[in-house]
């Protein structure tokens, strides 16, 4: 059981590492948010699951579960707020952008 828990936690650490590598790999702030937001969430959830396999007392498992639910609620919201702030502050999209309907709307407003 300890081995399974360690393996699950290792997978979680790998995903978290992928998230931060994604921060460097992409050259557009919005693409970086995709990587950081989604991979960090799953990484944290997997680590919580791995720890939960080892700390099997119901109170501890429930605490880990509550942390997981809070993470799923707050992390995407936090990433969205950063994205909205970057957008409203006027960050340019990268050169790889194909279609941009929101900029159209922004131009139309002006």
Partner 1 sequence: MTETIEYLTLALLAVAGLLALVRVGRGGSLPDQVLGADTLILVLASGVAAGAGVTEDTTFLDVLVVVTLLSFAGTITVARYVERRGARA
Partner 2 sequence: MRYRVFLAGWLVVVWLALWRDLSLANLVSGVAVATATIFVFPPPGDRGRLIVRPLALLRFFGTALWAIVRANIVVAWEVVTPANQINEGVVAVNLHANHPTVITLVSHAIGLAPGTMVIDVEDQPDGSARMYVHVLHLREIEDVRREVLDLERLALAAVAGRATTEEGAA
* Binding site partner of 76, from partner 1, partner 2, none, Cβ cut-off 5-8 A by kind: partner 2
Instruction: Classify residue 41 by burial, with Cβ atoms within 10 Å: 0-12, 13-18, 19+.
Output: buried
Cβ proximity to partner 2: between 56 and 94 the closer is 94
Report the interface residues with partner 2, using CB under 8 A. 15, 18-19, 21-22, 25-26, 28, 30-31, 33-35, 37-39, 41-42, 45, 58-60, 62-63, 65-66, 72-73, 76-77, 79-80, 83-84, 87-88, 93-94, 96-103, 105
Q: Which of 2, 98, 105, 107: binder of partner 1 (CB under 8 A)?
A: 2
State both tokens at 109: 């407003």
d(CA 29, CA 82): 10
- When asked if residue 93 is in the footprint of partner 1 (CB under 8 A), the reply is no
DSSP character string of 47-63: HHHHHHHH--SHHHHHH
Asked if 63 and 54 count as a contact pair (C-beta separation under 8 A), the reply is no
Residues 7-66 that bind partner 1 (CB under 8 A): 7, 9-10, 12-14, 16-17, 19-21, 23-24, 29, 32-33, 36, 40, 43-44, 47-48, 50-52, 54-55, 60, 63-64, 66
Asked if 52 and 65 count as a contact pair (C-beta separation under 8 A), the reply is yes
């Amino acid at each position: 059981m300890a081995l399974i828990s360690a393996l699950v936690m290792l997978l979680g650490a790998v995903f978290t590492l992928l998230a931060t590598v994604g921060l460097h790999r992409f050259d557009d702030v919005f693409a970086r948010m995709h990587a950081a937001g989604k991979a960090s969430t799953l990484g944290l959830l997997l680590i919580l699951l791995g720890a939960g396999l080892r700390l099997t007392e119901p109170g501890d498992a429930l605490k880990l579960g509550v942390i997981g639910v809070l993470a799923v609620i707050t992390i995407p919201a936090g990433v969205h707020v950063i994205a909205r702030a970057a957008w409203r502050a006027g960050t340019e999209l990268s050169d790889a952008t194909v279609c941009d309907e929101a900029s159209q709307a922004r131009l139309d407003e002006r």
